[in-house]
A and B are shown apart, each in its own frame.
Chain A
Amino acid sequence: MTSGAVTVTNALGMHARAAARFVHTAAAFQSQIRLSRGTHTVDGKSIMGVLLLAAARGTMLEITADGPDEIKAVAALVQLIESGLGE
Chain B
Amino acid sequence: MQRLKGIAVTGGAAVGRAVLLVHRGEAVRFPIPPDRAESEIARLAASRARSRTQLEHIKANISRGPGSELAPIFDAQLLLLDDPMLIGRAETLVRTELVNAEWAVQRAFDEVEQLFDSVKDPYLRERKGDVADVVGRIRMNLRHGARARDLLRHIDGPFVLIADELAPSVAAQIDWTRVRGFAMDAGSRTYHTAILARSLQIPAIVGLHDATRRVAAGALVAIDGADGSLTIDPGPELLRDLAQRHDGSTAAVTIEPRRGPVATRDGVRVRIEANVDLPDDLAVARREGAEGIGLFRSEVLVGSGPADELTENRQYEAYRRLVEGMAPHPVTIRTFDLDESRTSGRRPIGDDAWSEVERRRSPLGLRGIRLSLTRKDLFVRQVRAMLRASAHGSLRLLLPFVTTVEEVRVARGLIEEAEQTLNAEGVQTSHVAIGAMIEVPSAALAADLLAREVDFLAVGTNDLIQYTLAVDRTDERVSGLYHPLNPGVLRLLRAIRRAAAKEGRPVSVCGEMASDPAILAILIGLGLTEFSMTPRAIPAARQLVASVEASELRSLVRPLQSSGSLAAMEEYLNREVTRAEVKS
Contacts and interface: CB of A to CB of B under 8 A. Distances in A.
Nearest to A16: B76
B72 A52 contact: no
A16 B127 CA distance: 8
B119 A52 contact: yes
A48 B112 contact: yes
Contact of B84 (A15, A43, A51): A43
A46 B84 contact: yes
Contact of B116 (A17, A27, A52): A52
Given A43-B84, A43-B85, A46-B83, A20 B75 contact: yes
Contacts of B119: 52, 54
Given A45-B84, A48-B131, A54-B119, A20 B124 contact: no
Interface string B297-322: 00000000000000000000000000
Nearest to A21: B75
Contacts of B85: 43, 46, 48-49
Nearest to B81: A47
Contacts of B79: 20, 23-24, 27, 47
Contacts of B127: 16, 51
How big is the A interface, by class? 10 to 19
Interface in A25-43: 27, 43
A52 B124 contact: yes
B104 interface: no
Interface string A4-22: 0000000000011101100
Contacts of A16: 72-73, 76, 127, 130
Nearest to B121: A54
Interface of A is mostly: helix
B80 interface: yes
B172 to A, nearest CB: 37
A19 B76 CA distance: 8
B82 A27 contact: yes
B345 to A, nearest CB: 33
Contacts of A17: 72, 75-76
B124 A54 contact: yes
B82 A15 contact: no
A20 B75 CA distance: 7
B353 interface: no
Contacts of B76: 16-17, 19-20, 47
Contacts of B72: 16-17, 20
A46 B87 CA distance: 10
Nearest to A27: B82
A20 B78 CA distance: 9
A46 B112 CA distance: 12
B86 A48 contact: yes
A16 B76 CA distance: 7
Contacts of A51: 124, 127
B216 to A, nearest CB: 27
A79 B124 CA distance: 25
B47 to A, nearest CB: 18
B132 to A, nearest CB: 12
Contacts of B115: 48, 52
A7 B31 CA distance: 47
A54 B80 CA distance: 17
A76 B77 CA distance: 23
A24 B72 CA distance: 12
A35 to B, nearest CB: 13
A54 B121 CA distance: 8
Nearest to B72: A17
Contacts of A52: 115-116, 119, 124
| Listed residue (B86, B120, B123, B131) with the most chain A CB atoms within 10 angstroms of its CB | B123
A54 B120 CA distance: 9
Nearest to A22: B79
A52 B119 CA distance: 7
Contacts of A49: 83-85
Contacts of A15: 123
Interface in B70-109: 72-73, 75-76, 79-80, 82-86
Contact of A48 (B75, B80, B121, B123): B80
Interface in B110-142: 112, 115-116, 119-121, 123-124, 127, 130-131
Nearest to A43: B84
A45 B79 CA distance: 9
Nearest to A49: B85
A27 B84 CA distance: 11
B21 to A, nearest CB: 28
A51 B121 CA distance: 11
A83 B115 CA distance: 29
Contacts of A24: 79
A26 to B, nearest CB: 10
A19 B127 CA distance: 12
Nearest to A15: B123
B116 A47 contact: no
Contacts of B75: 17, 20
Nearest to B118: A52
Given A16-B130, A20-B72, A48-B131, 7 more contacts: A16-B127, A17-B75, A17-B76, A20-B76, A27-B79, A49-B85, A54-B124
Interface of B: 72-73, 75-76, 79-80, 82-86, 112, 115-116, 119-121, 123-124, 127, 130-131
For the complex of A and B, the 9 pairs showing the least CB-CB separation, nearest first, are A47-B79, A46-B85, A17-B72, A48-B85, A46-B83, A20-B75, A46-B84, A20-B76, A16-B76
29 contacts: A16-B72, A16-B76, A16-B130, A17-B72, A20-B72, A20-B79, A23-B79, A24-B79, A27-B79, A43-B85, A45-B82, A45-B83, A45-B84, A46-B84, A47-B79, A47-B83, A48-B80, A48-B86, A48-B112, A48-B115, A49-B83, A49-B84, A51-B124, A52-B115, A52-B119, A54-B119, A54-B120, A54-B121, A54-B124
